[in-house]
């Protein structure tokens, strides 16, 4: 089944420390005036051939960085954009950290600490609306929470028989 990208939801929350996860209320939807959010991940690979093989090259993955490229129109009143835009002049690693949560269409949730990079909040041609762009780079592999498979309890199900 094909799904529209807009069904995948992205949220950001302020970072205070690596071991203090934000509450659900702290998360801000990254959606208003955002036109595109693309997986722009990097893989560091090395090609090698060995004498115990047939001479063909084999690709080894040395590491992977998950990055999401965000672009759209700048909206300084949007809380998620304001959080990110407020980091653009910060040049310290901790000053660029935030929490990034992705709620995938299949119900899985990816969540972890990311750094906001390549931030642009404003600018462009005179006839265009101001642009908003950034890249949200997870600092490590995000935690993946599988889709909740617990059946929902309806009020009817919770009513004792009798």
- The CATH number corresponding to 5-45+61-158 among 1.10.3470, 1.10.8, 1.10.1070, 4.10.410 equals 4.10.410
pTM, two decimal places: 0.85
Residue 155 in this model has a pLDDT that exceeds 60 = no
74-103 pLDDT tens trace: 999 999 999 999 999 999 999 999 999 999
- pLDDT, tens digit (0-9, with 9 covering 90-100), for 95-127: 999 999 999 999 999 999 999 999 999 998 999
Count other C-beta atoms under 10 Å from residue 12's C-beta: 25
Domain spans, the chain: 5-45+61-158
């Amino acid at each position: 089944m094909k799904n529209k990208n807009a069904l995948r939801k992205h949220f950001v929350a302020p970072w205070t420390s690596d071991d203090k996860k934000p509450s659900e209320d702290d998360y801000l939807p990254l959606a208003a005036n955002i036109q595109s959010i693309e997986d722009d991940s990097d893989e560091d690979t090395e090609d090698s051939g060995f004498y115990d093989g047939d001479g063909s090259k084999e690709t080894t993955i040395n590491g992977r960085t998950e990055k999401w490229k965000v672009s759209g129109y700048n909206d300084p009143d949007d809380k998620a954009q304001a959080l990110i835009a407020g980091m653009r002049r910060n040049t310290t690693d901790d000053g660029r950290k935030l929490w990034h949560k992705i709620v995938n269409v299949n119900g899985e949730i990816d969540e972890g600490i990311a750094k906001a990079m390549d931030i642009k909040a404003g600018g462009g041609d005179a006839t265009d609306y101001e642009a908003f762009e950034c890249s949200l780079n997870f600092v490590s592999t995000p935690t993946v929470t599988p889709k909740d498979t617990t059946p929902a309890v309806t009020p009817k199900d919770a009513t004792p028989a009798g």
